Amino acid sequence: MASSTHPSAPCAACKFLRRKCIQGCVFSPYFPPEDPIKFTNVHKIFGASNVSKLLNEIVPHQREDAVNSLAYEAEARLKDPVYGCVGAISVLQRQVLRLQKELDATNADLIRFSSNQNMMLTIPQTSGNYPQNHPHVLPPNYSSWNNYNP
C-alpha cells in the first residue's frame, strides 16, 4: 500500500537527492522516509530520473505496483548483477518443463494402469471399485509459458 504523506519529513527519494519534497512529489507516496533502502536500490539500478519518467507515464492507481516491481527487479539485480531477476525466470521455466514432463509420465502410467484394470474386469469380480474414467488422465494445456518471450 502507498505510504501516507509525511508533511514533516521528506520522502526517502527527496532526502537522498537532497531536495525539497514538495506537495505532489511523484516519489513521496511510494518511497516513505522509513524505508530508505527501497529508493537507493531503485536509484542505483534504474536512476531516479528514469523512475520519475516511468511513474509519470503510468496512471496513478498502478504506480504502487510499478514501484514495487521496480524495487523487486532492483534488489534481484543487486544480488545477482549478471542475471538479475531474469535468472529467476530461467529457473521457473525449467521447473515448469520438468513438472510438465513428470505429469505427462504419470498420466501415461495412469492410462496403462486403467487399461490393465479394464482387462482384469473382463473377468467378473465380486468385490472392488475401479473407476475407468480418470479426471487427471488428460493434462491441461500448460505450454503457453514454457518459453516466455516478452
Residues in contact with a second copy by the rule CB under 8 A: 44-47, 49-50, 54, 57-58, 62, 65-66, 69-70, 72-73, 75-77, 79-89, 91-93, 95-96, 98-100, 102-103, 105-107, 109-110, 113-114, 116-117, 119-120, 123, 125, 127-130, 134, 136, 139-140, 142, 145, 148, 150
Q: Which three cell numbers stand for residue 76?
A: 534481484
Residue 92 CB, shortest distance to a second copy, in Å, is 4
Integer angstrom CA distances of residue 2 from 29, 33, 47, 62, 118:
5, 12, 20, 11, 60
Residue 112, judged by CB atoms within 10 A of its CB (0-12, 13-18, 19+), counts as exposed
**Which lies closer to a second copy via its Cβ, residue 34 or residue 62?**
62
What is the rounded (10 degree) CA torsion for 64, 66, 72, 78? -120
Residue 8 CB, shortest distance to a second copy, in Å, is 31
Residue 17 CB, shortest distance to a second copy, in Å, is 15
- Residue labelled with grid coordinates 532492483: 74
